[in-house]
Amino acid sequence: MAFTELLSEKNYNKITVQEIIDRANIGRSTFYSHFETKDDLLKEICRELFDHIFSNDLNRECSKVFENSKKNPKILITHILYHLKENREKIVKVLSCESNEHFLEYFKKYIYKIIDEYIFIEKNKDKKYEKFLKNHICSTFVETVKWWIGNKMEESPEEISDYFFRVIDPLI
């Protein structure tokens, strides 16, 4: 996609709508009929990618079939990691761009929903601590994925899932 190619070449803040239009070989009116700004385009790319990756349907377009009727968080995280690995070309381009913080912000929101729904955190009277803990676990997963990508995804999704849970199990 034209926009992800541009992201791998230059800082997000320096990319203009005109450059996106030129690279995609589309007209200005076509761009603006779909997106108001390049931020909206980035949100849409992230939404498409993450809706696919974070699908609750564990059989959806993934090379490995998962069964998770008991909502096991480790199975779900492993499933997500398989999707990330299978979509690594797109993800690496966006993560390696100078302005990856936009992508990571969206990524973190999706992870937070997964943690909120699937990872048991003992309900605590201290709601701030609960939110802090969820954020900490979410940040740990994001950093785990960044490390994995930086390590050329040499480890299997099962290994990365195991590493992640070995770190967070004492917290939950």
Long-range contact pairs involving 80-83 (C-beta distance under 8 Å, separation at least 24): 80/53, 80/54, 80/114, 81/145, 81/148, 81/157, 81/160, 81/161, 82/157, 83/52, 83/53, 83/54
The model's pTM is 0.72
Higher pLDDT, 70 or 23: 23
Top-confidence residue, 43 or 147: 147
Query: Crossing angle, helix 100-118 and helix 88-95, to 10 degrees?
Result: 120
Identify the pLDDT of residue 64. Answer: 55
Please compute the mean of the pLDDT values over residues 41-67 and round it to a whole number. Answer: 64
Domain that holds residue 54: 2-168
Q: For residue 81, give the nearest of 143, 146, 145 by alpha carbon.
A: 145
Distances (CA, A) of 12 to 16, 18, 156: 9, 13, 31
- Does the pLDDT of residue 56 top 60, yes or no? no
CA dihedral 20, 29, 90, 100 (to 10 degrees): 60
Distance in angstroms (rounded) separating the CA atoms of residues 83 and 149: 13
Q: Is the pLDDT score of 159 beyond 90?
A: yes
pLDDT band at 140 (very low <50, low <70, confident <90, very high): very high
In the predicted model, is pLDDT for residue 61 greater than 60?
Answer: no
Q: What is the CATH number of the domain that holds 108?
A: 1.10.357.10
Domain count, the chain: 1
State the average pLDDT for the chain. Answer: 80
pLDDT digits (tens, 9 = 90+) for 105-119: 888 888 888 888 777
Element (H, E) at 154: none
pLDDT(85) > 80: yes
pLDDT at residue 120 above 50? yes
